[in-house]
Each structure stands twice: as structure tokens, then as C-alpha cells.
Amino acid sequence: MRIATWNVNSITARLPRLLAWLESSGTDVLCLQETKCTLEQFPAEALREAGYEAAVNATGRWNGVALLSRVGLADVVTGLPGGPEYEGVQEPRAVSATCGPVRLWSVYVPNGREVTHDHYAYKLRWLEALRKSVAPDAAGALPFAVLGDFNIAPADEDVWDRTLFEGATHVTPAERAALAALREEGLSDVVPRPLKYDHPYTYWDYRQLGFPKNKGMRIDLVYGNAPFTSAVKDSYVDREERKGKGASDHAPVVVDLDL
């Protein structure tokens, strides 16, 4: 079984590439982030024609997440139970479902913007709500993973130049502590296994030749429980999908399971 996560940075802009990638990669379940569309605008019919059901949490121009599955879609939960609001709204940043033999969450963690910004405090509250929400699934017997754009680099080696991030979000001790608390619910970082690249970054800024110069960050993560991680046979970042005209600024992260 092949599972992946991908921040597509607008599903409308990326739809032709998305459909081509689903066909060429043979992915069974794909977690999407930053769909940037309303529920009505989501291309469910085009994906259905490609063989995928969709569970979607999308309300407008920003944010938005989805789960695409060709192995079934059941027990869907839209949103983060007990999640905090930002400016009076619970943003569309989480969706979960059982896809065949596995239970998955697709999440888009708030960016945080700046350490002194209200959005940073919101990010930490959101991560704590995520920890509480996934705990029952993490402790269950079913293979389970939470995948997505966490907007946090777990370690200094997960950014291309740590000195440039001094005092900035994505690398602060509080954010990394929140990730550690999530892992303490019985989850492990799936991707640091034998990889095809020395520095498996997942995001490169469009500006200043970020991708050609490999000025990247590893912020798209896959955290699985013991039944999930024990079934992992391979994991990699599909850097090829970051290349060329019309690419997202993130690359897909792919995990192969033997279930």
C-alpha cells in the first residue's frame, strides 16, 4: 500500500499535475494540504473519474485539507475536535478517515508567522489540540498515521541554514516541544529511514532560486504508531514533482507499507 502527503498550494492550479502524479505514482491514499478552495470548488468529479474518493475540509481561499483514497473511505471526521479558533473561526486544517486497513489524518498546522504574533500562540494551541485528538487513534491496534505540512522543522539539520532562522518560527523550542509531545502519544517519525537523498527537504521557497540551490526545509512529516511503522518498507521525498513549470513549493512525501 502506498500512502503520501502533499501540500499542493492550490488544488485548482495543480490539478493537471496532481492527476498525472496519482496515475504515475500508483498512490493508494494521498493526504492533501493547502487546497485553497471552497467545498463547491473542490474537483471531486475529476478525482472520482481517476478512481479516488475524497474527504474534504475546505471553506475558502486559504488553507483546506483533503484525503484522497482508492481503497475506501470510512468514519470521516472533518475538522480538529476541540481545536482552537483564530479570529473567531475554526480553520479547515484537519480531516481524518479510515482508508482500507489504515486510519489517517491529513493536517495543515498553522504557520505561526512570527514568534510575537497571535498566530504563533494559536499554532501552539492547535498542536496541543491535535495531540489530544490523535491520542486514541495512536493507541489503537489499527495502523495509524498523522501526515501533513507541520510547518515545523524537527531538528536543525532539517533546514538548509539554521543560522538564518534565529528567532524565527518553524525552529523554536516551543514548536519542537509540541512535536515531541505528539510523538510521546506513541508516534514515530516514519521518514528518517534509508532515503534517496542526503537532505530530504520537502519545501523550497519559490523566491531566490530556492529549489535549484537546495535551500529547503523538511516540514512535511509522517508520524505513525507502532502497527504503522512496523509495516513501512520504504519512504522518500519525490523531488521530481517539485521541478518544472507550475510546481507546488512542496514535494510529495511517499511511504510504502507491507500490510
Positions marked catalytic: 108, 149, 250
Q: Is 249 annotated as a binding residue?
A: yes
Strands 102-108 and 144-149: parallel
Which of 148, 168, 169, 163 has the alpha carbon at shortest distance from 219? 148
Q: Is 151 annotated as a binding residue?
A: yes
Q: Is 34 annotated as a binding residue?
A: yes
Q: Is 250 annotated as a binding residue?
A: yes
Rounded distance, CA 107 to CA 57, Å? 10
Burial annotation 76-86 (CB, 10 A radius, 16+ → b, else e): ebbbbeebbeb
Which of 4, 254, 26, 257 has the alpha carbon at shortest distance from 142? 257
Q: Which amino acid is at 76?
A: V
Q: What is the DSSP letter of 115?
A: T
Which residues define the annotated binding site?
7, 34, 149, 151, 249-250
Which residues define the annotated binding site for Mg(2+)?
7, 34, 149, 151, 249-250
